[in-house]
Amino acid sequence: MFEKLFNQFVISFRESIEASLVVMAVMIAINKRGDLRLRRAAIWGIGCAIVACIAGGYLLGTIALVNNHGVELILYLSAMLAVLTMVIWMMRAGKHIKNKIETRITSYESSNRFLPMLGIFLFVFFMITREGFEMVLLLLAFGKGIGGGMYVSAMIAGIALAIGLTYAMSKGLIKVNIGKFLQQSSYVLLIFVVQLFFDTLHEAYEGGFLPEPSSQSFANFVDYVHDQVPVFSYIALALFGCIVIYHLCINLTTKQTPATSH
Protein backbone atom coordinates (compact mmCIF):
# COMPACT_ATOMS: atom_id res chain seq x y z
CA MET A 1 0.00 0.00 0.00
CA PHE A 2 2.83 2.41 0.83
CA GLU A 3 4.23 2.48 -2.70
CA LYS A 4 0.79 3.23 -4.14
CA LEU A 5 0.28 6.08 -1.68
CA PHE A 6 3.76 7.36 -2.50
CA ASN A 7 3.00 7.28 -6.22
CA GLN A 8 -0.11 9.37 -5.66
CA PHE A 9 1.80 11.82 -3.45
CA VAL A 10 5.01 12.29 -5.44
CA ILE A 11 3.27 12.50 -8.82
CA SER A 12 0.81 15.09 -7.50
CA PHE A 13 3.59 17.04 -5.81
CA ARG A 14 6.00 17.01 -8.78
CA GLU A 15 3.40 18.06 -11.33
CA SER A 16 1.87 20.68 -9.01
CA ILE A 17 5.21 22.18 -7.95
CA GLU A 18 6.22 22.78 -11.56
CA ALA A 19 2.99 24.61 -12.39
CA SER A 20 3.08 26.50 -9.07
CA LEU A 21 6.68 27.66 -9.48
CA VAL A 22 6.14 28.85 -13.04
CA VAL A 23 2.97 30.71 -12.05
CA MET A 24 4.85 32.20 -9.08
CA ALA A 25 7.56 33.48 -11.42
CA VAL A 26 4.88 35.03 -13.64
CA MET A 27 3.12 36.74 -10.70
CA ILE A 28 6.40 38.09 -9.28
CA ALA A 29 7.35 39.54 -12.67
CA ILE A 30 3.88 41.09 -13.05
CA ASN A 31 4.05 42.61 -9.55
CA LYS A 32 7.44 44.14 -10.37
CA ARG A 33 5.91 45.67 -13.46
CA GLY A 34 2.93 46.90 -11.43
CA ASP A 35 0.33 46.17 -14.10
CA LEU A 36 -3.02 45.16 -12.58
CA ARG A 37 -4.41 44.20 -16.00
CA LEU A 38 -1.79 41.50 -16.44
CA ARG A 39 -2.41 40.31 -12.89
CA ARG A 40 -6.13 39.90 -13.59
CA ALA A 41 -5.34 38.02 -16.81
CA ALA A 42 -3.08 35.62 -14.87
CA ILE A 43 -5.75 35.03 -12.22
CA TRP A 44 -8.34 34.30 -14.90
CA GLY A 45 -5.89 31.88 -16.50
CA ILE A 46 -5.44 30.08 -13.18
CA GLY A 47 -9.18 29.82 -12.58
CA CYS A 48 -10.03 28.59 -16.08
CA ALA A 49 -7.18 26.05 -15.96
CA ILE A 50 -8.38 24.59 -12.66
CA VAL A 51 -11.89 24.15 -14.07
CA ALA A 52 -10.49 22.53 -17.23
CA CYS A 53 -8.31 20.14 -15.18
CA ILE A 54 -11.23 19.06 -12.99
CA ALA A 55 -13.50 18.47 -15.99
CA GLY A 56 -10.80 16.71 -18.00
CA GLY A 57 -9.71 14.60 -15.02
CA TYR A 58 -13.27 13.45 -14.41
CA LEU A 59 -13.70 12.54 -18.08
CA LEU A 60 -10.40 10.65 -18.27
CA GLY A 61 -11.18 8.88 -15.00
CA THR A 62 -14.52 7.71 -16.38
CA ILE A 63 -12.87 6.38 -19.54
CA ALA A 64 -10.14 4.61 -17.55
CA LEU A 65 -12.75 2.60 -15.63
CA VAL A 66 -13.43 0.59 -18.79
CA ASN A 67 -11.69 -2.77 -18.44
CA ASN A 68 -10.24 -3.00 -21.93
CA HIS A 69 -6.69 -3.67 -23.15
CA GLY A 70 -7.01 -1.02 -25.84
CA VAL A 71 -8.03 1.66 -23.34
CA GLU A 72 -5.24 0.66 -20.97
CA LEU A 73 -2.72 0.73 -23.83
CA ILE A 74 -3.77 4.26 -24.82
CA LEU A 75 -3.63 5.34 -21.17
CA TYR A 76 -0.10 4.02 -20.63
CA LEU A 77 1.17 5.31 -23.97
CA SER A 78 -0.36 8.77 -23.48
CA ALA A 79 1.10 9.08 -19.99
CA MET A 80 4.54 7.97 -21.18
CA LEU A 81 4.65 10.37 -24.15
CA ALA A 82 3.25 13.31 -22.16
CA VAL A 83 5.80 12.94 -19.37
CA LEU A 84 8.72 12.22 -21.71
CA THR A 85 8.11 15.33 -23.84
CA MET A 86 7.71 17.45 -20.69
CA VAL A 87 10.99 16.13 -19.24
CA ILE A 88 12.86 16.84 -22.49
CA TRP A 89 11.44 20.37 -22.58
CA MET A 90 12.33 20.95 -18.93
CA MET A 91 15.88 19.67 -19.46
CA ARG A 92 16.34 22.26 -22.20
CA ALA A 93 14.41 25.24 -20.85
CA GLY A 94 14.09 24.73 -17.10
CA LYS A 95 17.42 26.26 -16.07
CA HIS A 96 16.59 29.69 -17.51
CA ILE A 97 12.79 29.60 -17.38
CA LYS A 98 12.49 32.19 -14.59
CA ASN A 99 14.69 34.72 -16.42
CA LYS A 100 12.85 34.11 -19.69
CA ILE A 101 9.49 34.76 -18.05
CA GLU A 102 10.70 38.00 -16.43
CA THR A 103 12.29 39.22 -19.67
CA ARG A 104 9.16 38.47 -21.69
CA ILE A 105 6.80 40.24 -19.28
CA THR A 106 9.11 43.24 -18.98
CA SER A 107 9.23 43.57 -22.77
CA TYR A 108 5.45 43.98 -23.14
CA GLU A 109 4.52 47.44 -24.37
CA SER A 110 2.20 49.39 -22.07
CA SER A 111 0.38 50.88 -25.07
CA ASN A 112 -0.84 47.47 -26.21
CA ARG A 113 -3.70 46.50 -23.93
CA PHE A 114 -4.99 43.24 -25.42
CA LEU A 115 -2.09 41.09 -26.66
CA PRO A 116 -0.06 41.08 -23.41
CA MET A 117 -3.17 40.13 -21.41
CA LEU A 118 -4.01 37.36 -23.87
CA GLY A 119 -0.41 36.12 -23.79
CA ILE A 120 -0.33 35.96 -19.98
CA PHE A 121 -3.74 34.26 -19.84
CA LEU A 122 -2.80 31.61 -22.41
CA PHE A 123 0.63 30.95 -20.89
CA VAL A 124 -0.71 30.45 -17.36
CA PHE A 125 -3.67 28.43 -18.64
CA PHE A 126 -1.43 26.20 -20.76
CA MET A 127 1.14 25.58 -18.01
CA ILE A 128 -1.46 24.56 -15.42
CA THR A 129 -3.61 22.45 -17.74
CA ARG A 130 -0.59 20.66 -19.17
CA GLU A 131 0.69 19.74 -15.73
CA GLY A 132 -2.84 18.88 -14.60
CA PHE A 133 -3.48 16.48 -17.45
CA GLU A 134 -0.04 14.91 -17.06
CA MET A 135 -0.79 14.38 -13.38
CA VAL A 136 -4.16 12.78 -14.15
CA LEU A 137 -2.64 10.47 -16.78
CA LEU A 138 0.13 9.35 -14.41
CA LEU A 139 -2.24 8.86 -11.49
CA LEU A 140 -4.58 6.78 -13.65
CA ALA A 141 -1.70 4.75 -15.09
CA PHE A 142 -0.19 3.93 -11.70
CA GLY A 143 -3.42 3.92 -9.73
CA LYS A 144 -5.72 1.98 -12.04
CA GLY A 145 -8.09 -0.10 -10.00
CA ILE A 146 -7.40 1.62 -6.68
CA GLY A 147 -9.29 4.33 -4.91
CA GLY A 148 -10.60 5.40 -1.58
CA GLY A 149 -10.03 8.22 0.85
CA MET A 150 -6.37 7.41 1.57
CA TYR A 151 -5.35 7.69 -2.08
CA VAL A 152 -7.32 10.89 -2.59
CA SER A 153 -5.74 12.26 0.59
CA ALA A 154 -2.25 11.41 -0.70
CA MET A 155 -2.99 13.26 -3.93
CA ILE A 156 -4.38 16.31 -2.09
CA ALA A 157 -1.39 16.27 0.28
CA GLY A 158 1.00 16.39 -2.69
CA ILE A 159 -0.84 19.34 -4.25
CA ALA A 160 -1.10 21.15 -0.91
CA LEU A 161 2.61 20.71 -0.16
CA ALA A 162 3.52 22.05 -3.60
CA ILE A 163 1.36 25.14 -3.12
CA GLY A 164 2.67 25.63 0.45
CA LEU A 165 6.33 25.45 -0.63
CA THR A 166 5.68 27.81 -3.52
CA TYR A 167 4.05 30.31 -1.16
CA ALA A 168 7.00 30.05 1.24
CA MET A 169 9.40 30.70 -1.63
CA SER A 170 7.38 33.69 -2.83
CA LYS A 171 7.68 35.19 0.67
CA GLY A 172 11.42 34.52 0.86
CA LEU A 173 11.09 31.94 3.66
CA ILE A 174 12.77 29.30 1.48
CA LYS A 175 15.26 30.04 -1.28
CA VAL A 176 15.49 27.44 -4.01
CA ASN A 177 17.00 27.61 -7.47
CA ILE A 178 13.76 27.00 -9.36
CA GLY A 179 15.39 25.98 -12.63
CA LYS A 180 17.75 23.45 -11.07
CA PHE A 181 15.04 21.96 -8.86
CA LEU A 182 12.68 21.46 -11.79
CA GLN A 183 15.41 19.95 -13.94
CA GLN A 184 16.70 17.58 -11.25
CA SER A 185 13.28 16.44 -10.08
CA SER A 186 12.42 15.62 -13.70
CA TYR A 187 14.73 12.62 -13.36
CA VAL A 188 12.22 11.16 -10.89
CA LEU A 189 9.60 11.20 -13.63
CA LEU A 190 11.99 9.41 -16.00
CA ILE A 191 11.83 6.42 -13.64
CA PHE A 192 8.07 6.37 -14.11
CA VAL A 193 8.58 6.63 -17.88
CA VAL A 194 10.65 3.42 -17.83
CA GLN A 195 7.89 1.66 -15.91
CA LEU A 196 5.25 3.01 -18.32
CA PHE A 197 7.25 1.77 -21.32
CA PHE A 198 7.09 -1.81 -20.08
CA ASP A 199 3.44 -1.37 -19.06
CA THR A 200 2.70 -0.29 -22.64
CA LEU A 201 4.47 -3.34 -24.06
CA HIS A 202 2.62 -5.62 -21.62
CA GLU A 203 -0.80 -4.32 -22.65
CA ALA A 204 0.15 -4.37 -26.36
CA TYR A 205 1.13 -8.04 -26.14
CA GLU A 206 -1.88 -9.08 -24.05
CA GLY A 207 -4.33 -7.19 -26.25
CA GLY A 208 -2.87 -8.58 -29.46
CA PHE A 209 -1.81 -5.17 -30.75
CA LEU A 210 1.75 -6.44 -31.09
CA PRO A 211 2.83 -9.99 -31.92
CA GLU A 212 4.19 -11.95 -29.00
CA PRO A 213 7.98 -11.62 -28.79
CA SER A 214 9.91 -14.53 -30.22
CA SER A 215 12.05 -14.65 -27.10
CA GLN A 216 10.21 -16.10 -24.12
CA SER A 217 12.87 -14.65 -21.85
CA PHE A 218 12.07 -11.14 -23.07
CA ALA A 219 8.31 -11.76 -22.64
CA ASN A 220 8.93 -12.93 -19.08
CA PHE A 221 11.09 -9.86 -18.46
CA VAL A 222 8.31 -7.52 -19.67
CA ASP A 223 5.81 -9.25 -17.38
CA TYR A 224 8.28 -9.08 -14.49
CA VAL A 225 8.94 -5.34 -14.87
CA HIS A 226 5.21 -4.69 -15.33
CA ASP A 227 4.62 -6.22 -11.89
CA GLN A 228 7.51 -4.37 -10.21
CA VAL A 229 5.75 -1.06 -9.50
CA PRO A 230 6.94 -1.12 -5.83
CA VAL A 231 10.59 -1.39 -6.90
CA PHE A 232 10.33 1.61 -9.23
CA SER A 233 8.44 3.53 -6.55
CA TYR A 234 11.18 2.99 -3.99
CA ILE A 235 13.88 4.01 -6.48
CA ALA A 236 11.91 7.16 -7.28
CA LEU A 237 11.39 7.83 -3.56
CA ALA A 238 15.14 7.57 -2.87
CA LEU A 239 16.05 9.87 -5.75
CA PHE A 240 13.33 12.38 -4.94
CA GLY A 241 14.37 12.41 -1.27
CA CYS A 242 18.01 13.07 -2.21
CA ILE A 243 17.00 16.01 -4.43
CA VAL A 244 14.81 17.59 -1.74
CA ILE A 245 17.47 17.13 0.98
CA TYR A 246 20.12 18.60 -1.33
CA HIS A 247 18.10 21.78 -1.93
CA LEU A 248 17.13 22.09 1.74
CA CYS A 249 20.78 21.80 2.76
CA ILE A 250 21.74 24.51 0.26
CA ASN A 251 18.96 26.70 1.66
CA LEU A 252 20.15 26.22 5.26
CA THR A 253 23.79 26.76 4.30
CA THR A 254 22.90 29.98 2.49
CA LYS A 255 21.01 31.28 5.52
CA GLN A 256 23.81 30.45 7.95
CA THR A 257 26.57 31.99 5.79
CA PRO A 258 27.08 35.60 6.94
CA ALA A 259 26.97 38.25 4.26
CA THR A 260 30.36 39.72 3.45
CA SER A 261 30.74 43.45 3.75
CA HIS A 262 32.29 45.49 0.99
Residue 241 contacts residue 102 (beta carbons within 8 Å)? no
Q: What is the pLDDT of residue 111?
A: 58
| CA gap 61, 58 in Å, rounded | 5
Residues 6+ apart with CB under 8 A from 26: 42, 101, 105, 120, 123, 124
* HSE toward the beta carbon, residue 139, CA cutoff 13 A: 28
Question: Per-domain residue ranges for the chain?
Answer: 2-256
How many beta carbons lie within 10 A of that of residue 100, not counting itself? 13
Does residue 135 surpass a pLDDT of 80? yes
Quick one: pLDDT band at residue 70, thresholds 50, 70, 90? confident
At 172, the amino acid letter reads G
Task: Indicate if the pLDDT at residue 48 is higher than 90.
Answer: yes
pLDDT over 60 (residue 75): yes
When comparing pLDDT for 166 and 5, which is higher?
166
In the structure, what pLDDT confidence band is assigned to residue 261 with cuts at 50, 70 and 90?
Answer: very low
For 75, residues 6+ apart whose C-beta sits below 8 A from its C-beta are 64, 137, 140, 141, 144
pLDDT given for residue 110 in this prediction: 61
Q: What is the DSSP string of 185-234?
A: HHHHHHHHHHHHHHHHHHHHHHTTSSPPPS-HHHHHHHHHHHT-HHHHHH
Closest CA to 121 of 40, 53, 56: 40
Mean pLDDT of 59-85: 78
pLDDT digits (tens, 9 = 90+) for 141-181: 776 555 566 777 888 888 898 888 888 877 777 777 777 77
| Residue type at 251 in one-letter notation | N
pLDDT digits (tens, 9 = 90+) for 171-218: 777 777 777 777 777 777 788 788 888 888 888 888 888 888 878 888
pLDDT band at 47 (very low <50, low <70, confident <90, very high): very high
